[in-house]
Structure 1
Amino acid sequence: MNSVIAEAGRTPDAGAHEHPNQFALLRQRRFAPFFWTQFCGAANDNLFKFAFTVMVTYQLQVAWLPPAMAGLVIGALFILPFLLFSATSGQLADKLDKRRLILLVKWLEVAIMVLAAWGFFRAHVPVLLACTFLMGLHSTLFGPVKFAYLPQHLGERELTGGNGMVEMGTFVAILLGNVAGGLVVAIPQAGAQWVGIACIALAVAGRLVAQAIPASPATDPGLRVNWNAFSETWRNLKLARRDVVVFRSLLGISWMWFFGAVFLSQFPSFAREVLHGNEQVASLLLVVFSIGIGTGSLLCEALSRRHVEIGLVPLGAFGMSVFAIDLFFASRGLPAAAPLGLGAFVAAPAHWRVMADLALLSLFAGLYSVPMYALIQLRAQPTHRARIIAANNILNALFMIASSVIAGALLKAGLGIPQVFLALGIANALVALYIFLLVPEYLLRFVAWVASRLVYRFRVRGDEHIPVQGAAVLVCNHVSFVDAVLLMAASPRPIHFVMDHRIFRIPVLGALFRLARAIPVAPQKDDPAVYEAAFERAAQVLREGDLLAIFPEGAITRDGRLQPFKGGIVKILERAAQDGVQATVVPMALTNLWGSFFSRIEQGGAMVRPFRRGIFNRVGLNVGAPVPAAQAQPEALQARVAALLAA
């Protein structure tokens, strides 16, 4: 893996804020006020939009805004500011203290909701349309702040859990906002007025909670704001493209919004035309979808061992496609019936498969999106992190607009809604494969994730010693053909491996290590050119500030005992030091791996008896404290690794 990690500054030390799980963040000032501020804003957006849509559709007669167009117009007005002002909002979030900007945005929300309340009291549609645009502007200004705030206050081990909580909270807020908007606006005689009061109350609550958000210093206070949205949008996209992994992640997230927007926009029609249900059934689909997204988002921390684990992304993409395709088969051929109420719909066994497919595809969408957001926050340079998020918001808006156009075209071409879902599931598989081939790191992390959870029961101790930034050499004993895969699973960052050139000849594993762009090394007497090139490439990895891993024994142990360390590490460190790079050295020890399927044994070779130790073997990795380069002599490192083996 040769992606360059573009990081500047320091992320917070998660160890200073140890907590048992992501829910404990809700008791900490650095997260809880921000979470509830975001929650109130998302709930208010959706209460306002849905109540306004229902009012125009069912309660008012507006000749120039027919009911069939109301939802589209309101949705388009809300998204438009993301296209026009995201670039500017990203610059402001990088230039200003984020707490100060959040407070200003919350005051703006209060003002907008006061105007909207007047519009609801007077049933003034043009004013409410203007407020829709302004609430879109409010969300546009808050978006880059939201995702740039988290890496300033959460450590690498907390980012996945924090993003999962925010994603879960957002979808719960969307759900509650829509439900409340529909119920309140339906109150006889006074529904619109109560909507206006509720919107002001939520805006004021958000502003009061935001007061407790801690200071978040500007990451680029000297930035000169470019008010030309078009040129700045292009500049933001160019900033994002500097890191291939970050840019492909932006595209991957935008595709997820494309995918989700198709389902969300088709729920009313799907409920009425395919499932033969009433409005309550359409609401049930939204509830199931939101619960699935929230559950998947929360699962990310548990499945990732509290690291940014992008190995979950291929798993999420696979699940999205499988259950979108199965939704087509589950929903076709349902018998026609009079519009079913909620009770009658739930009572029919055929509908449970539909709801299960919907819940699972949204759950996997949560597994897909949260690690991508966390990766962008971790890899993007802090000085322009908010502008990268702004670029993502622009792409999201464009992809959501494209989803409406393409879904509409498919329906006009004669496809039914289940067929659109089928086409979307197939397209998702193709898009995911394309992204993963362009950025092999996703597939490599997925293989490492599977190996460390399904092939082995893998436990890591001392992983806080693996640096989240800066050049470092990982030094480990060599026990099996999958040592590199297990190290990948333990590290929050990509690792460049120096490996015996003969391992590249092994089927499957060889292809995997070539995909990882591992550095082949041969004995100097066998191939001087390969030997010299390996040391130069290894030194270059350290010059670029990345992680390098070597197995100083030179070969996989044949008797399970630690072999003498060779002096190659000293040569690599000296070459890097010539360019002023002082890399630290992190000793590691793989434990209980000897005798497993992928290790050699004295009575035979590796990979010849699949179940000689059963399945789900318990193996471990002990990570020691970093050692300065000046103390990284082979004998001293061997002693440290031996001590870790005995721990």
Structure 2
Amino acid sequence: MTETESTSQTELPSLYHDSSFWGMTVTQFWGAFNDNLYKQLVLLFCAQQALQGAKDQQDIALGVFALPFVFFSGLGGWYADRHTKRTIVIACKVAEIIIALLAMAAFFTGQLLPLLVVLGLLSTQSAIFGPAKYGILPEMLRSDDLPQANGVIQMTTFVAIIFGMASAGFVKQAFPDALWKTSYFCIAIAVIGTISAFWVRRTPVAHPGLPFRWSTLGINPETRTLLLQDRRLLSVLLISSVFWFVGGIVQPLVNIFGIGQLHLSESRTSLMAACMGVGISLGCVAAGRVSHKRVNFKLVTVGAWGLVLCLALMSGIGWWGPGDGLETVKQTDASLWEAFIPLNAAEWMSRTVLTLVGFFAGLFIVPLQVELQTRPPKSQKGRMIGTMNLINWVGIVLSAVFFGLFTMVCNKLNWPMSHVFLVLALVILPVALFYHPRDEALSHDAPGT
């Protein structure tokens, strides 16, 4: 670290008085809202078709959303290191406006294929945006502010997921034959996110003139060497991928569990999924505060054990079956506001346990995110975040494949889909048992900053 870089760190404003930080927070909040509103609308479209006798194509929709992250995250990391990240953030938000206009046209058709095309474009934009979004944080903030900054960023991201997923169920019920009207709202949100992106301060280019190579589309040689030499960093990357594999299955699982197994309306099912977002928001903020200027891996252990227990409890709720009165929920759920009040014990328990699932997930992911931002050298931060996105989305692609397999197995054996919650608990169990790295202190002079 040069003297200039060290001085710039000490002269930065405190986190909560930094307009650049809040500009980035607002920008990614509304981007996450649009992503999840549209994705949940497509997933509900697929789930409803499945209940009408068609094949459940949620796994295809999830695959379409995930594959661009696999193919383009490396490219996003290369852009983030070769150009100023602020420029990339602004360009991606302008692209979001264009994609929102295309979404309006896709809704007009009422067909799945155009919806999937737009979903793929949306995830491509997000794949390019991600490395710049997370890579710019250690460049524009104090190193010891990163745990709290990531806590706030992750919290607001999942608040956006709450409103995005919950809004999807409501707007689908409110505009069953005119979903294109929601695009006006999405376009306005994209414009707001673009304006707030201009608040983000410009940071120096991390690696000027970085040449493009075909390996850039995957994991470039420098990053591969770094991961092979730094096993701690490699382990964090792999554990992060396991987390997103589980998360990629949980979202469609909750959809089919709520609509198909508990016989809930779409708005109630979306609220049940949104409970996870509430929990993650709380968990992320708690993780940022508890970390106290260090990468606190004890939170990963606590989060892993919490996830194992809560996922097992969700499986237990499924064993009891729909319960009295749940068969009529879809017919009696006449008012959208009525959906906020659970009608029986099974719905109460599901919302409560899913909130806890989210809380422990927030504790789990924040330390991993901070480690992946701070540990790589400055010239490789963007590409490391790109590699993280790629590996995470490989996990999510695999989750789409496994969700399809689980669906087939459960249908063939006549098992409730809630059994899959128990399978996911067993996936997390080895992390809880065996992954216990030491904590790592953060300071203005942390390596790689």
Q: Which residue of 2 aligns with 1:317?
A: 304
| Greater relative contact order (CA < 8 Å, ≥ 6 in sequence) | 2
- C-alpha displacement at 1:121, in angstroms? 4.2
- C-alpha displacement at 1:234, in angstroms? 6.6
Q: Which residue of 1 aligns with 2:446?
A: 468
Mapping of 1:16-27 within 5 angstroms? 16=11, 25=16, 27=17
Q: Which residue of 2 aligns with 1:221?
A: 208
Counterpart-to-counterpart distance in 2, 1:467 and 1:295: 29
Unaligned runs of at least 5 residues, structure 1: 1-6, 60-65, 446-462, 471-647
Q: 1:354 to 1:121 in 2, by over 3 A?
A: closer
One-letter identity of the residue aligned with 2:245: F
When structure 1 is superposed on structure 2, of 122-131 and 76-85 the one drifting more is 122-131
Aligned residues of 2:68 and 2:124 also touching (Cα < 8 A) = yes
Counterpart-to-counterpart distance in 2, 1:464 and 1:122: 52
Q: 1:416 to 1:249 in 2, by over 3 A?
A: same
Mapping of 1:434-513 within 5 angstroms? 434-436=434-436, 440-441=437-438, 468-469=446-447
- C-alpha displacement at 1:212, in angstroms? 1.7
One-letter identity of the residue aligned with 2:27: T
1:90 is the counterpart of 2:93: no
Counterpart-to-counterpart distance in 2, 1:170 and 1:110: 19
The secondary structure found in structure 1 opposite 2:213 is coil
- C-alpha displacement at 1:178, in angstroms? 2.8
Q: Which residue of 1 aligns with 2:36?
A: 46
Q: Which residue of 2 aligns with 1:428?
A: 428
Q: Which residue of 2 aligns with 1:99?
A: 86
Q: Which residue of 2 aligns with 1:270?
A: 257
Q: 1:76 to 1:318 in 2, by over 3 A?
A: same
Counterpart-to-counterpart distance in 1, 2:161 and 2:167: 10
Q: 1:128 to 1:356 in 2, by over 3 A?
A: closer
Q: 1:75 to 1:262 in 2, by over 3 A?
A: closer
Counterpart-to-counterpart distance in 2, 1:135 and 1:55: 17
Q: Which residue of 2 aligns with 1:377?
A: 373
When structure 1 is superposed on structure 2, of 303-312 and 252-261 the one drifting more is 303-312
Counterpart-to-counterpart distance in 2, 1:122 and 1:352: 37
1:34 is the counterpart of 2:12: no
144, 162, 167: which one aligns with 2:149? 162
Q: Of Structure 1 and Structure 2, which has the larger fraction of its residues in helix?
A: 2
Q: Percent identity?
A: 27
- C-alpha displacement at 1:385, in angstroms? 0.9
Counterpart-to-counterpart distance in 1, 2:42 and 2:312: 34
- C-alpha displacement at 1:428, in angstroms? 0.8
Counterpart-to-counterpart distance in 2, 1:54 and 1:407: 16
Counterpart-to-counterpart distance in 2, 1:178 and 1:258: 19
Q: Of Structure 1 and Structure 2, which has the larger fraction of its residues in strand?
A: 1
One-letter identity of the residue aligned with 2:438: E
Aligned residues of 2:311 and 2:422 also touching (Cα < 8 A) = yes
| Partner deviation per Cα, 1:585-626 (whole Å, 9 max, x = no partner) | xxxxxxxxxxxxxxxxxxxxxxxxxxxxxxxxxxxxxxxxxx
Q: 1:384 to 1:236 in 2, by over 3 A?
A: same
- C-alpha displacement at 1:45, in angstroms? 1.6
Q: 1:358 to 1:378 in 2, by over 3 A?
A: same
TM-score (norm 1): 0.61
- C-alpha displacement at 1:126, in angstroms? 4.8
- C-alpha displacement at 1:142, in angstroms? 0.5
Q: 1:345 to 1:408 in 2, by over 3 A?
A: farther
- C-alpha displacement at 1:344, in angstroms? 10
CA RMSD of aligned residues (A): 3.2
Aligned residues of 1:94 and 1:387 also touching (Cα < 8 A) = yes
Aligned residues of 1:50 and 1:178 also touching (Cα < 8 A) = yes
Structure having the higher Rg: 1
The secondary structure found in structure 2 opposite 1:427 is helix
Aligned residues of 1:156 and 1:307 also touching (Cα < 8 A) = no
Counterpart-to-counterpart distance in 2, 1:53 and 1:350: 23
Mapping of 1:185-584 within 5 angstroms? 185-188=172-175, 191-228=178-215, 232=219, 236-334=223-321, 336-337=323-324, 338-340=327-329, 341=333, 346-413=342-409, 414=413, 415-436=415-436, 440-441=437-438, 468-469=446-447
Paired residues, what number? 432
One-letter identity of the residue aligned with 1:136: S
